[in-house]
Chain A
């Protein structure tokens, strides 16, 4: 294994230190570890976090118009409740804290515990769990669809809404709605190498692609011959657009009663004519030239199916260390969503409209 690291145990710590040196407007709490920005305006603090290794998500998205803070865990491993608790206490300005969680058992359990702890500190708190990976078909016999690329888009849009002064209830509803309008699907050409493991998480033959891969090197739904990028994107769009009827139980924190409410909700259908925000996302080791080549196919494929690409994002946003591959995320957007999307954002890895 060749990596630009010192000690395996220090990868997370050294990267957040580097980030804060490069962007002095971001502040680092070392113990417990979280990264935040100071902002004394009276808005809801949007906070996310999760295992490291997906950068720039989440720490690169801390900035005006997006996240207030992020809690990084070790590589591919959730942060712990004490980190999230202290972070929430530090950034709450009285309007409360909204936690965005990616749907992995570890993240959900640690963040939901933190929700309860924040509640008992009298901090208004809510959480929304993002589960957009359509490669996972089934919600009853698995831990459900994983949270992947849509997280980036939702952090941007909900961050803009928080900036505009929306309250906690409003932001929760918005984030849940956006999640139900989002779908992602990923593929890998080569697996990633987790520093502590030192070898690729799976092996692929020279002409094989892992189809439906997760962002931790989890295996996908099948192996597929490479073929050209056109046929690959065609198959990915088939998974994305053909995927309907997924429903699952969603938990939301009841601040009045101090417990969890559960409700069965269903993802929204997509139909020709819909406007989409489209992300073509590199998984860490994919050349930009190939991402744009893929974007070309995505754009054409969506147009042929009658969809309108209203906005797009092409680049490395939600990565899996040095995995070679990419994912497509589609988010069905209405006028309000696009207004929030276009609003100014000033984070290390997403910046426009200043």
Chain B
């Protein structure tokens, strides 16, 4: 199966819906070890993307990703604005003129996006950030692809790994972002950004597999 432009548009809509639903939960997670705004930030950013979606619709996958990134960059704010903004803008490069992607194209696009997050935020594994969701999810996706399985299986594996990755941030001590100032007091709380990334990956799985 291939990932179409329509899947990408549906994915963005699904992300917006997820963040609308879970904004209070994400903000509560950010209250524990941050400044209680992550859910509001994500909801504001993706509502803006929804407003602009019509103007992206006619473009390639790369164009949609880039437009989304620019919109998120100027509307999320905080640390996660430039991080998610950069994710989409970097992801756009390899998908520049594509109208659809096969599994390896999809994985390449997401990998480029995550490289963008790392370029900007310099996170390392177990720093307790959104990357701790993306890395294991990408790993699971590549593993599944290497085993010769298809896109649906890969996304299912990624969703599971993302959920585990987000949960696995609970015992970590934050070394990046606001939470790092709490030192050991950041232990015992799930990272807000890791959780929003998990919602994005699960939303992608849902729109592609239909459940």
Contact = CB atoms under 8 A, between A and B. Distances in A.
Interface of A: 32, 73-74, 76-83, 104-106, 109-110, 112-113, 136, 140-143, 146, 196-197, 214, 216, 218-219
Contacts of B77: 73-74, 77-80, 106, 110
B121 interface: yes
A104 B121 CA distance: 12
A141 B175 contact: yes
B79 A105 contact: yes
A225 B54 CA distance: 59
Contacts of A74: 77
A143 B37 contact: no
Q: Interface on chain A toward B: helix, strand, loop, or mixed SS? A: loop
B173 A141 contact: yes
25 contacts: A32-B74, A77-B78, A78-B77, A78-B79, A79-B77, A82-B74, A104-B178, A105-B79, A105-B121, A106-B77, A109-B83, A109-B121, A110-B77, A110-B81, A110-B82, A112-B82, A113-B73, A113-B85, A136-B181, A141-B175, A141-B180, A143-B178, A143-B180, A214-B181, A216-B35
B75 interface: yes
A112 B82 CA distance: 9
Interface in B13-40: 35-37, 40
A104 B120 CA distance: 14
Contacts of B183: 141-142
A109 B35 CA distance: 17
Given A32-B74, A197-B36, A113 B180 contact: no
Given A110-B82, A113-B82, 5 more contacts: A73-B77, A78-B81, A142-B183, A214-B181, A219-B182
A143 B176 contact: yes
B177 interface: yes
B127 to A, nearest CB: 9
Interface residues of B, number: 27
A140 B173 CA distance: 13
A19 B70 CA distance: 30
Given A105-B121, A141-B183, A113 B86 contact: yes
Contacts of A136: 181
Interface string B162-180: 0000000000010111101
Interface of B: 35-37, 40, 73-79, 81-83, 85-86, 120-121, 173, 175-178, 180-183
B102 to A, nearest CB: 31
A143 B81 contact: no
Nearest to A219: B182
A82 B176 contact: no
B175 A142 contact: yes
A136 B183 CA distance: 10
Contacts of B37: 77, 196
A196 B37 CA distance: 9
B85 A218 contact: no
A106 B78 contact: yes
A143 B120 contact: no
- Among B40, B74, B86, which residue has the most Cβ atoms of chain A within 10 A? B74
A80 B74 contact: yes
- Among B75, B77, B181, which residue has the most Cβ atoms of chain A within 10 A? B181
Contacts of B177: 105, 143
A82 B75 CA distance: 9
A197 B37 CA distance: 9
A294 to B, nearest CB: 25
B181 A142 contact: yes
Contacts of A141: 173, 175, 180, 183
B34 to A, nearest CB: 10
B180 A109 contact: no
B36 A112 contact: no
Contacts of A80: 73-77, 81
A219 B86 CA distance: 30
Contact of B79 (A79, A83, A106): A106
B23 to A, nearest CB: 13
Contacts of B83: 109
Nearest to B72: A80
